[in-house]
Each structure stands twice: as C-alpha cells, then as structure tokens.
Amino acid sequence: MQLFESLGFHWERSVVPAKIPVHSIERVCFRFYKMLPEFVWDAGVLEGNPFTFPEVKTLLDGVTVGGHKLFDQEQILNLAESSKTLLGLVKTKKFALNKNTFCTLHGQVAKNEALEWGLFRGEGQEINFSPMVSLGEKGVYTPMPTEKDAINLNKKFASGLHALNQEVHQPFEQACLFFLFGALQQFFFDGNKRASRLMMNGILMSNGMDAISVPAATVQEFNHKMVDFYVSKDATEMLAFLLRQHPEFEKIEQLNKKDR
C-alpha cells in the first residue's frame, strides 16, 4: 500500500476509532494551557529529566530551582517554550502540517541540546554524523543516513506528508501517524519524538480534539512499545497506546461501541 510505503511502517487501520469527541479550538487550547505543567513534566520524564512535578511548576512560574544541572533546567524551559509556541499557532489558526512548523518547534524544543536544531539533518554544517536509536537488548535502529542538503530526507518527508494529507482523513489517526513518522525517520539529530509529539498535538487541537500527553507513569510501557515499533515497523500497538492516553478515552469507547 502506498501509504505504508511512504511512511515507512504499517498498522491495522481498524484500531483507530471512527468517532473522537470534537470541541471548539478555544476549549481544547484552554485545556492545553491549564495542563501545561503536566505536559512539560511528562515530556521531561520521558527524556530522563530529574525535575519533579512541583519543581517544574515552580520553574514555569519564573522561580529558579536549586540542585539541578543547567542542562536539565534548560530542557524543561525548552519544553515549555515550544509548547507555548504551539499553543499560539493553534489559537491564531496558523498551525500547519508542514516542514516550516516542524522545524520551528524543533528549533525551540531541542535548542542547545541537539547537534543542530531547527533544520533537517544535513541542511546545516554537519553532514557526516548519522544518529542511531538505542533499542537496548534489541540492538540499535539506524535511520536514513545524513547527507549534504538532506536531499533524501526531504523527499521522504514530502512523500510522507503527501500520503498523510491524501489518504488519512481522520485527524486523530493523522496526528498519531505523524508522531510515529517523525520518530522513525529521525529528521533531526535529536529531539525527534518531542518535536513530533508537538506536531501531533497541533493536528489534534487544530481539529478541536484534546491534546495527548504520555503520562510519566507509563514511561516504561511507552519505551517498550516504541522499541517494538522500531523493530517491527508495525504501529498498531503504539496507536492503541496513544488512544488510551486520550483524556476522553472512556467516552471514545462508548461512542464507538454503539456502532459495533
């Protein structure tokens, strides 16, 4: 199937529910704003950041927290800043599923952390280093190699985006697939999952659907399923996992049970 080939993985499309609660963009943006400390903390935990939830709230209130490395503090602040940028784009209806938005968000969430940020691998000065994703006992996952001007990475991105726009019309499915697409293809040197989750939530909120956070309590399950995804290139389990993290998951189950 062309869709699967363009993205680089496959999945059982039946796992995606036909009905997802839809609200006003103002309402979903308000929830995202109110939940910002939780979203930032959850994302930090996924990166192994040692900041506790109360410390994240304190830092976001503009008060420094002692006893932490400056790197860890900057990572939390980058997560917050990129989330605020995403919120602004959605609220002003300027969010777009395109490379420019993707790179803008990456430029904030991975600032001073990735080898280069805000541009695809090979579009900057570094053209020889290619990242690898450690899969623990299952080895490593090696994405497309870095090359000057990122010619093939750009072709893959354009092909994947075209497939998502032409063949995936359900916003929830499209959003989650973009996250997995970005995580698999590794368009940047680092921060791919973080930037891709921001894009995922941009798609959801732009369509009146609540944003998804991967709870800190599920970090082990998330990592395990992501490893399986990298190995098998089967996204079915990850899609089901992301669905369970939706804040209205129980309502979604009820809505779709009536049609079975």
Nearest-angstrom CA–CA distance, 43 and 46: 5
pTM over 0.75: yes
Mean pLDDT on 94-110: 98
Tally of domains in the chain? 1
Mean pLDDT on 50-54: 97
CB-CB neighbours of 162 under 10 Å: 13
Query: Residue 80 sits in which domain range?
Result: 2-258
Nearest-angstrom CA–CA distance, 130 and 188: 10
pLDDT at 79: 98
pLDDT at 257: 86
Which CATH number covers residue 189?
A: 1.10.3290.10
Distance between the two ends of the chain, CA-based, in angstroms? Answer: 26
The chain-wide mean pLDDT, for the chain, equals 96
Among 130, 143, 158, residue whose Cα is nearest residue 233 = 143
pLDDT at 114: 95
Between helix 53-60 and helix 36-46 the angle, nearest 10°, is 120
Mean pLDDT on 78-102: 98
Place of tokens 């997560």: 79
Per 3-state DSSP, the chain is made up of helix, strand and coil in percentages (nearest 5) of: 60, 0, 35
Q: Give pLDDT tens digits for 215-260.
A: 999 999 999 999 999 999 999 999 999 999 999 999 999 999 866 5
DSSP, res 140:
E
Q: Give pLDDT tens digits for 150-208.
A: 999 999 999 999 999 999 999 999 999 999 999 999 999 999 999 999 999 999 999 99
Among 205, 214, 215, residue whose Cα is nearest residue 175 = 205
Residue 214, SS3?
coil
